[in-house]
Amino acid sequence: MFPGGSLVLTGANSSADLRSKTVKYQHRDEVDEWPLDLDGQGDPDEMADARLIAFHATGDYMVFKSSTPTIKGRSRIDAAFEAGDQRHWNVCCPQCGQEQKLVFGGADYSFGLKFNKEPPYQARYVCAGNGCIIDHSQKAAMVRAGRFIAENPKGLYPSFHVDALTSLLTTWDKMAEAFLAAKDNPSKLKAFVNLWLGQSWEERGEAPEWKLLLGRRENYARGVLPVGALLVTMAVDVQGDGLFYEVVGWGADKQSWSVDAGFVEGDTADPDGDVWKQLTKIWERRYPDAYGGSWPVDAVGVDAGFNTESVKHWVRGRPKAFALKGMPGWYLPPLGTPAKVDITYRGKKKSKGARIWPVGTWSLKAEFYALLRKEPPTDGAEGFDAGYVHLGQHNDERYCRQIVAETLKEKEWRGRIVKEWVSTGDNHFHDCRVYNMALFDHLGGNRWTGDQWRQLAQQRGVKKVAQLDLEDVGLGAGTMAAQVKPVVASVVPRKPVSVVRKGRGGFVNGWK
Ligand SMILES: [Zn+2]
């Protein structure tokens, strides 16, 4: 295959490799996962481009980029696809012959993939031309007879979009199942759009008006876990003159309740200061639930970005306590791999005596706002949506203003518009909530199956109450069977099928 040649495999995280070799044919895989900047030395994509310079005159080089697209604006494969001729696979309707590109559609579309909300999904495609119903049994032959059509013939090179609708490796029913399991959870929906539709996800930065949040507060008691709240996390934002904290209760379907939120005043620079003792008292509280039990905080996170030594000292030796550091960027896990750092207390230094955990805040902020935008049920309707953010009367104006004090701002980056988060005012409670979300994920809340949640519910005595209550939070006997499967099927970030691993691919530079 490579007569007289050589094959070089390298990672996009090695600037040495990307800088050293001349390579005529390149396959750059999963380019959306590549870092924007490699060790401060520049864009790895551009480093790889520079490896082609020797072939510019002859033009006989080839680059194949492939990737699952990720976030609009930031996505490398999106930009490469857009600059290309944008080929989509088109098929002819077996009934009327209308040639078309298959789209997922949605409730607002008269055409596209249609399916039942419960199994059997009976997914079928409604033809855009004449509304013909295309049965899944007709899919394979229809897809095989299709062809790529370029939507941007003036593009610089061929670029291709591939998605699960025309994949012969999966079924429309599986696609429907994946969508239904993801639709109420912003991070799962994002993964569905990326992996199954091969499309980038547009992050939205709008939060509801703080007044709206103030107006929809509920009457549950402060410091008490409402029905459905099974996990308890606590997060702390450190200021020079005190500590902002929030305690959050979490349900199986990610509904959350602000159980307590407040500010403890005092000088945080002194690790032995009174304010840290007060924090200990709050942390040691137990939270009574609706079933007669009471529970401690399952995990607490303290922002170590300010007065770091005090934070490290407080967290050290304390079970279930994490020193956290918020990190900018879109592709970071909620809670990453901790870094071991030195700790100094009363003039004594202990080498590598503390751990600081990076928090990928950007995606969490977007998810938080998506959850915050969920509206309470209107009069007569039953139950809250999965992921709904419940606020209590203790969540005052300051709290409501602060949780929405971040916005997504567009800026130009290398000729593209990218979005980044900026604060629009005091945002301490916003930070607390984002850290709470990272802890919830770290504890496993986003990945647990219905069985695992049910187990937790049993440990916490939930079986004592009527099942009617449990149905509100996705744990009722009636909903359990339906609940278990989707949760398992939509575990992120494992890629569900190999089909859409390459959502989009494209050739760039040189050759057609
Ligand atoms: Zn038709």
pLDDT tens-digit map of 357-405: 999 999 999 999 999 999 898 876 778 989 999 999 999 999 999 999 9
State the burial class of residue 183 (Cβ atoms within 10 Å of its Cβ: 0-12, 13-18, 19+). middle
Instruction: Provide the 8-state DSSP code for 95.
Output: T
Candidate from 154-163, 352-361, 379-388, 443-452 with smallest mean pLDDT: 379-388
pLDDT digits (tens, 9 = 90+) for 45-79: 888 888 888 888 888 888 999 999 988 878 889 98
From ligand 1's centre to the CA of 237, what distance in Å?
Answer: 58
Angle at which helices 477-489 and 172-182 pack, to 10 degrees?
Answer: 110
For the chain, first and last CA: distance in Å? 21
- 181 vs 487: CA distance, rounded Å: 7
Candidate from 57-61, 233-237, 465-469 with smallest mean pLDDT: 465-469
From residue 227, give the alpha-carbon distance in Å to each of 84, 256, 310, 449, 464.
53, 11, 36, 20, 12
The gap from C-alpha 183 to its chain's centroid, in whole angstroms, comes to 13
Cβ atoms of 351 and 366 within 8 Å: the answer is: no
From ligand 1's centre to the CA of 249, what distance in Å?
Answer: 50
Structure confidence at residue 465 (pLDDT):
45
Around ion ligand 1, residues with a beta carbon closer than 5 Å are: 93, 95-96, 98, 127, 129-130, 132
From ligand 1's centre to the CA of 135, what distance in Å?
Answer: 11
- 417 vs 23: CA distance, rounded Å: 30
Structure confidence at residue 410 (pLDDT):
82
User: How sure is the predictor about 475, in pLDDT bands with cuts at 50, 70 and 90?
Assistant: low
Length of the chain equals 512
**What DSSP assignment string belongs to 193-244?**
HHHTS---B--------HHHHHHT-B-PPTTSPPTT--EEEEEEEEETTEEE
The position carrying tokens 């304010």 is: 275
What are the phi and psi torsion angles at 173 (to 5°)? -60, -40
Residues of the chain with CATH 3.30.420: 210-477
From ligand 1's centre to the CA of 111, what distance in Å?
Answer: 10
pTM of the model: 0.75
From ligand 1's centre to the CA of 115, what distance in Å?
Answer: 18
From ligand 1's centre to the CA of 109, what distance in Å?
Answer: 15
Structure confidence at residue 2 (pLDDT):
56
CA atoms within 13 A on the CB side of 62: 8
From ligand 1's centre to the CA of 498, what distance in Å?
Answer: 29
- 483 vs 489: CA distance, rounded Å: 10
From ligand 1's centre to the CA of 194, what distance in Å?
Answer: 28
From ligand 1's centre to the CA of 238, what distance in Å?
Answer: 61
From ligand 1's centre to the CA of 499, what distance in Å?
Answer: 26
From ligand 1's centre to the CA of 100, what distance in Å?
Answer: 9
From ligand 1's centre to the CA of 138, what distance in Å?
Answer: 12
- 238 vs 241: CA distance, rounded Å: 8
From ligand 1's centre to the CA of 184, what distance in Å?
Answer: 31
Q: What is the 3-state secondary structure (H, E, C) of 107-176?
A: CCCCCEEECCCCCCCCCEEECCCCCCEECHHHHHHHHHCCEEEECCCCCCCCEEECCHHHCCCCCHHHHH
From ligand 1's centre to the CA of 126, what distance in Å?
Answer: 8
From ligand 1's centre to the CA of 179, what distance in Å?
Answer: 24
From ligand 1's centre to the CA of 147, what distance in Å?
Answer: 17
Q: What CATH number does the domain located at 210-477 have?
A: 3.30.420
Structure tokens at 40: 């401060």
Structure confidence at residue 463 (pLDDT):
58
In 6-136, the DSSP E strands lie at: 25-29, 62-67, 87-92, 99-101, 112-114, 124-126, 133-134
Average pLDDT, the chain: 86
pLDDT digits (tens, 9 = 90+) for 277-335: 999 999 999 999 988 889 999 999 999 999 999 999 999 989 899 999 999 888 889 99
What pairs with residue 223 in β-bridges? none
From ligand 1's centre to the CA of 106, what distance in Å?
Answer: 18
What pairs with residue 133 in β-bridges? 126
From ligand 1's centre to the CA of 129, what distance in Å?
Answer: 5
